[in-house]
Chain A
Amino acid sequence: MEIRVVRDVLEESNLRAQENRALFDMHGIFAVNIMSSPGSGKTMLLQKTIPALTERGFSCAVIEGDITSTIDSERLQPLGIPVVQANTEPFGGDCHLGSHLVQAALKQLDLSSIDFLFIENIGNLVCPAEFYLGENRRVVVLSLPEGEDKPLKYPLMFRECNLCLLNKMDLAPYLEVDVELMKSNVHKTNGQIAILPISAKTGEGVGEWIAWLLHARGGQS
């Protein structure tokens, strides 16, 4: 017997994501899903971003995704903000955060007191791009040492994001990387994505990144 069906296999995952989004909307939270390769500087970006938002009067929280360990959430502890570690190891070691894990993490946060929620996804340019978590915006961090070719090798990630932060610009003089080619390759995968060169380490471009966040939060959706 044939059972004819057309069903999105990620239906349940997307339903959980929509539930997360409803919670964000209800509490006035602007959620940003930050994705990248391992080591591109997501955590240091948050270490610079959160104080800049805090001094402007915004309250922040972080869901810190990793397969295992609490290393990144420990780095964020001195910021004095709520950080929830979401490890996938007990759930099979998935290399991306799922909307169900974000949902579980949200239960550990006082949602009524959060303006910006940063979801630091697991370092991986493939899998995290596939799964909607309920976020308002998606940001990919691409660091200069990764090379110009990465957008072309991982096109879904760059197609799915609203903004690409070209991080570690301070290393440009020491690398043979062609920054303009890197930008061009990002735009070949997604003509609509915004690109901001930054250095989380030196602070270059961080002001523009904060302005982008505030503008995006103002525009919502």
Chain B
Amino acid sequence: MHELYIAECIVKSVAASLPMDVPSDSVREIRVQVGQLDAVIPETLLFVFDAIKRNSGLPNANLSVEQIDVVCRCRACNQEFGIELPVFICPQCRSGDVEVLRGRGILLTGITVQNGEEA
């Protein structure tokens, strides 16, 4: 269960991304993209984020998780293709020498904060 550690990393990333004059409790939404390869269960990530957010200075934040499908490129024939996990074989030339272009990694992609005058 690596979702707790990832939720803690998200909290740190948000803190590092907020301008100095924006208080963390004004954060309303945090958007992340999670690669399908990363085996992160969105429901679990949401659950643990909700569990830690109050003590992490983000009591009013909701997390939004977008899963990103895996897209590969064949190094042998240059074909780009989406794959059904878990077989990483080029559908065109059957080479197993493929690189993952998308669908691996966890990115913070946006933060919505409530402005002072809106509060």
Contacts and interface: CB of A to CB of B under 8 A. Distances in A.
Interface of A: 1-13, 92, 94-96, 98, 126-127, 130-131, 151-156, 159, 187-192
A95 B37 contact: no
Nearest to A128: B2
A94 B96 contact: no
Given A7-B108, A154-B39, 5 more contacts: A1-B114, A130-B38, A188-B87, A189-B86, A190-B96
B115 A1 contact: yes
Contact of A151 (B10, B38, B86): B86
8 contacts: A1-B114, A10-B9, A126-B39, A152-B87, A159-B37, A187-B96, A189-B87, A191-B95
Interface of B: 1-2, 4-6, 9-10, 12-13, 16-19, 22, 32, 37-39, 85-89, 95-98, 100, 104-115
A71 B90 CA distance: 44
The secondary-structure label for the interface of chain B is mixed
A159 B86 CA distance: 10
A189 B88 contact: yes
Q: Name, among B32, B39, B100, B112, the residue most crowded by chain A CB atoms within 10 Å (CB to CB).
A: B39
Contact of A7 (B16, B97, B112, B115): B16
A152 B85 CA distance: 8
Contacts of B6: 9-10
Contacts of A95: 1-2
Given A95-B2, A98-B5, A156-B38, A191 B89 contact: yes
Contacts of B115: 1
Contacts of A131: 2
Given A153-B86, A188-B86, A6 B100 contact: no
Contact of A9 (B32, B39, B87, B96): B32
B87 A3 contact: no
B88 A188 contact: yes
Contacts of A154: 39
Contact of A192 (B97, B105, B113): B97
A4 B30 CA distance: 11
Contacts of A9: 6, 9-10, 13, 32, 106-108
A3 B19 contact: yes
A27 B87 CA distance: 39
